[in-house]
Structure 1
């Protein structure tokens, strides 16, 4: 694939703020004249050189290193210049303005990575891994993003795709011999290949699901009546006094957030206003926001007072929770109830008894959160996104459909072949082989500028 619009783009590639070094990245075609006007020198490919970066009147804006990567041996596949100057925001903006004066335009978010994808320097899954590595909230997420960036995820998808192609070739060839089609497929072990393909798809789907958990984390909402210890539990999990804790009911009026990690999984913990009937207008707004957070949550921890257990008011809250939500009932204040920390099941609910104040049973809750999230400690997961899981799920459905067709009472090989084609198309969406331009726009618009 080739870039249609290969005009020169420029952006500050380092994070905003002051730093020892600031980097400006420039990508386009035939950038040697650009470098000559900027520095008065013609750079040597892939060799750092100390230069003055000059304004239009010849005065020095800054001094620093210039790197030149000629096409196609660069990140984007085009000519690339990198200016490494001093990292002050004013001097960076002055240097960027000079680049724009020389004919570059300001790069859009993710445009460098998008050009790398369009020029075949990386596939779409690898391009997304660039952003995931930058955004990684934990060391585990960063390691998984590096594996995807290095192509492990793409290679796994490529192997699946190759097996699908081989299976499709068998089926397409068989369509020309209708008298012997089933016997021919059995002799070629087509059905065994189909079974192994289903097993591999299931394995990669599971590993990608773990990767999505590393990338996105789990949104956990603390809910319950006032004064059951939600804020105390938030503080205990976060390891800091983020929320005000008092015996006065209704202290929390707005959602408080903290991100923690358990075994590398980012957990976004949200403390909400106590759920109750009230005439206080401000508290009503807080309660309404609590329900909004609950609607968006992955898991809800319903806190109850261990001295009273689940009351009618708690049961009413449980009944209003969305059916799709994972839920854990937390019996807090066991230090006051004289009970012990434990985890057990009641009917269709999981109950964890603990004391946030006395730090009893917190490890039980952490372990339960990992179990609910479906986390399995492993080092071979791929960083993945929701769209990857959807594509893998679609491929699994089509392969399963192909299996049902060929093992049904009236096998129709034309339909069998079509299901395999649709499965291959679904996998192609992951690496970008079958990806619409509008989807590319959405994906790369979420990258940071300069990347």
Structure 2
């Protein structure tokens, strides 16, 4: 690829044109409500508006009128809005009919629209098809389109605010800034490849290594923010593990603030996983209480529960290994708990930490200020085979606030980050791949001119991965996977 093609690569797919068949759908959630919306998008939508509303509509003005059936009788009364192309959500002509939100009324109004548009091929919209057309018509890039779904599905206020920032283009702007820097560096590299007779020392004259270092630093910052946004979107899977009767169910109840799990002094009370989602600083935490781990379980149901515990550990972002405070103070970590630690490390996904939770300090008379103080609870900051440690009482609530803070610290959450944008695993993968190619580009740069063509190729591959985030280069399979997960009508 020459320097000229490098400059124009990001614009090679524009303009993008969507399919021209008109589509219609109910845009509000199923069920009864005060208001329901039927949305139509495509060419010649004004003709459908004329048929259903009995008059031409003024662009971008809400008009209160009756919605008419084929015989001119009113189906409902409501507001009609007409948006001419390209000044609409999809970039096409759009009609929105806002009536009463009863399911029968909505279905009658949708059926009327489909009947009025039959000759022009009006059909029911597929899931996410309105937003897909907005993407194909350059009203949104792919990251912004995904943020639309993320905003709808946001489970916390922090996630909703971050999704809104992504929808406004904060994430996309950061990606485009990176792409522009990569393109600029590619131009310099490829110009040197095209004119070798100049015999200039490219790496020195253009400060290529300095530019590459700046790009790598900027990418690292975007990746760090994306990881924070991914936590907001996906949440964390936190598994409570340990021997029977160490207080796992009590801890679940304490974290959730409700009596969700049955608590008894009888070992093995919990036979299956109990799952509850809580919020800490806007991060969804999916807490999973599991069956107590022991080798001598004779009950078939309990053995199945233990096996499911290990399955849950294998998918966990973080494991809390609970131990009994009285035994821990008296004898240290028991052989059984030590074996559980080893097995947890073997089952956990790479990078997922273990937090040792020393529970029942209220029942351990030998626990003193050096273990757990009101102002300075005992915390050991190691991770892995020697896990971090927090001392609590799930029954009295002592240390629970400290525990909540440790959960977020161990997975890298930074509180007070108002600039976070929401990100998906797809985005993280693309950013990591781009980072890997920039790392390889640094290695090629160290080889001077002998590897200049390989240096240019690594930059090109990094740019492709960045472009995939905003959809400059996206396969139909990827688009299908993304938009079919949207709700119908969006």
For 1:319, which of 337, 342, 362 is the aligned residue? 342
For 2:277, which of 259, 279, 293 is the aligned residue? 259
Q: Distance in 2 between matches of 1:267 and 1:294?
A: 15
Mind listing any 5+ residue stretches in structure 2 that lack a counterpart? 1-14
The CA RMSD over aligned residues, in Å, is: 1.7
1:18 maps to which residue?
32
For 2:358, which of 311, 326, 331 is the aligned residue? 331
2:461 maps to which residue?
422
Q: Distance in 1 between matches of 2:16 and 2:43?
A: 13
Q: How does 1:302-451 map to 2 (within 5 A)?
A: 302-309=321-328, 310-321=333-344, 322-323=347-348, 324=350, 325-338=352-365, 339=367, 340=372, 341-345=377-381, 348-377=386-415, 378-408=417-447, 411-451=450-490
Q: If the length of structure 2 is used for normalisation, what is the TM-score?
A: 0.88
Q: Tell me, yes or no, if the aligned pair for 2:434 and 2:466 is still in contact at 8 Å.
A: yes
1:116 maps to which residue?
134
Offset at 1:363? 1.4
Q: How does 1:153-302 map to 2 (within 5 A)?
A: 153-178=171-196, 180=198, 183-276=201-294, 277-302=296-321
Decide which moves more: 428-437 or 302-311.
Answer: 302-311
Offset at 1:410? 6.1
Q: Secondary structure at the match of 2:140?
A: coil
Q: Secondary structure at the match of 2:35?
A: strand
Offset at 1:50? 0.9
Q: Tell me, yes or no, if the aligned pair for 1:342 and 1:364 is still in contact at 8 Å.
A: no
Cα shift readout 1:21-72 (whole Å, capped 9, x = no counterpart): 1112111111111112212121111010112122233332211101111111
Q: Distance in 1 between matches of 2:205 and 2:234?
A: 45
Q: Distance in 1 between matches of 2:198 and 2:17?
A: 48
Q: Secondary structure at the match of 1:296?
A: coil
Q: Distance in 2 between matches of 1:278 and 1:56?
A: 70
Q: Distance in 1 between matches of 2:266 and 2:97?
A: 58
Cα shift readout 1:354-378 (whole Å, capped 9, x = no counterpart): 0011100111211111111101121
Q: Tell me, yes or no, if the aligned pair for 1:342 and 1:361 is still in contact at 8 Å.
A: no
Q: Distance in 1 between matches of 2:49 and 2:272?
A: 53
Decide which moves more: 73-82 or 59-68.
Answer: 59-68
Q: If the length of structure 1 is used for normalisation, what is the TM-score?
A: 0.96
Q: How does 1:41-190 map to 2 (within 5 A)?
A: 41-102=55-116, 103=118, 104-178=122-196, 180=198, 183-190=201-208
Q: Distance in 2 between matches of 1:113 and 1:62?
A: 27
Decide which moves more: 347-356 or 427-436.
Answer: 347-356
Offset at 1:14? 1.6
Q: Distance in 1 between matches of 2:419 and 2:72?
A: 54
2:7 maps to which residue?
none
Decide which moves more: 307-316 or 6-15.
Answer: 307-316
Q: Distance in 2 between matches of 1:191 and 1:57?
A: 73
Q: Tell me, yes or no, if the aligned pair for 1:174 and 1:185 is still in contact at 8 Å.
A: no
Offset at 1:314? 2.2
Mind listing any 5+ residue stretches in structure 1 that lack a counterpart? none
Q: Distance in 2 between matches of 1:37 and 1:282?
A: 64
Offset at 1:270? 1.1
Q: Secondary structure at the match of 2:75?
A: strand
Q: Tell me, yes or no, if the aligned pair for 2:59 and 2:83 is still in contact at 8 Å.
A: yes
CA pair 165-100 structure 1, distance change in 2 beyond 3 A: same
Offset at 1:251? 2.2
Q: Tell me, yes or no, if the aligned pair for 2:353 and 2:387 is still in contact at 8 Å.
A: no
Q: Tell me, yes or no, if the aligned pair for 1:207 and 1:382 is still in contact at 8 Å.
A: yes
Q: Secondary structure at the match of 2:201?
A: helix
CA pair 353-180 structure 1, distance change in 2 beyond 3 A: farther
Offset at 1:435? 1.0
Q: Tell me, yes or no, if the aligned pair for 2:203 and 2:448 is still in contact at 8 Å.
A: no
Offset at 1:179? 5.2
Q: Distance in 1 between matches of 2:175 and 2:450?
A: 28
Offset at 1:3? 3.8
